[in-house]
A and B are shown apart, each in its own frame.
Chain A
């Protein structure tokens, strides 16, 4: 299960795991699209030209086949060294959660207040703790969004 690249021994296992994970997620999603989602969410239509289901089905099938091809080529190819310097996923997930909460605030409290909350939450996730910054930027955002709203855009 190992390859040798320029004198370095590189294990095939992480690459295999990654490709298998991709095959399960992407390939599984393609199968779900073809056999479940597309038939349930698309009517057959008039079919003067093409069925409305055709393009989504062809796309899903192509994605599935390409992922399978990628998996097979990973099995037979020489393993490449993994970059392995990805940041922990929870940094981005926290930022996504903060943005979602900020957008919920916009939906319920309006643009000026909600926008200020969004800016504040993003600042907090970024690790900003200076009081001046935590108060100044949200206020600036609130004023800006209030003015944009007033102009009627």
Chain B
């Protein structure tokens, strides 16, 4: 108890609160700007904490990480260009809401859901870190392969009107993710002799190119056409009477937010899944729970709540295996390990015995960060909601410049910028011919994890398929995959049929 109070005292010190606040501000900026990714921001922020006290340093980094997740929704809602890959799913309903003049409502729902998901996940971390971490330890290669197969079924759910085109896009994503060194033999694969491709196609370049740059091309096209034909250029007007969030809407959204938070927590605990997969999975689950009258994909606040609650729930949950067994569940968590070690703390089972005061301080700081996120987000919201009224002639060049800069910052190499442009062009043509860039990204994100775990499984089981019978978790996920595939393919097929008959 003494340690809890001492830790709380440290977390409420002026330096720690100032550090959290600074981190939240930096994280929000990183989240809003397309291409500036969370891991890149953390990598830049870690050296800044060198002269801070351990609690202030960790609090600062936690602030950066949490706020970048929340800030990513702003670009997704206002410009259809997600600031973070994990906010891509927010575009589905956030952007249509903004176009309907309900940008402020969408931003508020995104913010409140983010804070809710984050806070619940933090409380789960505090209460259940040790027992849940043992579950993460049971996830071997065989289990991970089945989890990835389960995750790949989302492609069917998010294929939209054409299941075959959605599948082609998803498989194309997996195919492009195989570029680079082979995970087993480390021999170059589809690199065309380019050393820059040995690490594979950069994820930020792929996300920024496929989502942000492609969207700017589409918007530029619409702008030029409107200008040439003399059409009125559409602006996002804010509807003053429909931009608040009523109690009824909160009640309506609450079950979705709770479900999505649980999905996000699960995605955080399982190492490797991460926030992007968590957010898409939450969206798919929310769609499956849709009631008559729900308008997912056309501007439903529940769609925004689902993706944002899950996205923000992933990070605190990914600390569960990190704090309890020293296993980082995401790239951000891995960078945080470096920061912990820089301040003399080695995450793992002994961390609570060796640094109890610091650990409780970190827990309290994480809750403080959630409150700060709410304040910064709520104040900034008034400003962010006006982005839609900024003329396209300013938005398009600025976003293209930031796409270029953001891609460059991932590896500090121009090659990433070239990759972004090439993938942006590919994404533009895919969109033009009805191929989903979102299912492409799901394949691209899951592909390397799937291949690695599949190949490890084959070695571990010595090529014996029946060895799976000794892995009950894997069997469970495979059964779920089959059920999910049937569940997802049926409505997608119906939708395509309805589209074809023009009903």
Contacts and interface: CB of A to CB of B under 8 A. Distances in A.
Interface in B82-115: none
B396 interface: yes
B485 interface: no
Which has the most chain B C-beta neighbours within 10 Å: A6, A123, A126? A126
B454 A81 contact: no
A87 B470 CA distance: 56
Interface residues of A, number: 63
A58 to B, nearest CB: 9
B15 interface: no
A40 to B, nearest CB: 9
Interface size class of B (residues with CB under 8 A): 35 or more
Contacts, number: 172
A24 interface: no
Contact of B418 (A22, A66, A102, A103): A103
B400 A122 contact: yes
Contacts of B171: 59, 62-63, 66
Which has the most chain B C-beta neighbours within 10 Å: A55, A69, A81? A55
Interface in B163-212: 164-165, 167-168, 171-172, 174-175, 178, 182, 184-185, 187-192
B190 A115 contact: no
A35 interface: no
B184 A45 contact: yes
Interface in B345-399: 392-394, 396-398
B400 A153 contact: no
A153 B409 contact: yes
Interface string B199-240: 000000000000001001110111111011000000000000
A14 interface: no
A13 interface: no
Given A119-B397, A123-B397, A137-B394, A106 B184 contact: no
A107 B414 CA distance: 7
B184 A46 contact: yes
A56 B184 contact: no
Contacts of B428: 92, 96
Nearest to B451: A55
Contacts of A125: 220, 224
Interface string A1-23: 00001100000000000100010
A118 B168 CA distance: 34
Interface in A101-122: 102-103, 106-107, 111, 115, 118-119, 122
6 contacts: A42-B190, A63-B168, A70-B168, A87-B222, A115-B405, A119-B398
8 nearest CB pairs, A to B: A45-B185, A59-B175, A52-B182, A122-B397, A49-B458, A49-B455, A43-B187, A119-B397
Given A41-B192, A42-B189, A88-B225, 16 more contacts: A43-B189, A46-B184, A50-B184, A52-B185, A56-B178, A59-B172, A63-B175, A78-B500, A80-B499, A80-B502, A99-B404, A103-B404, A115-B405, A119-B397, A137-B397, A145-B401
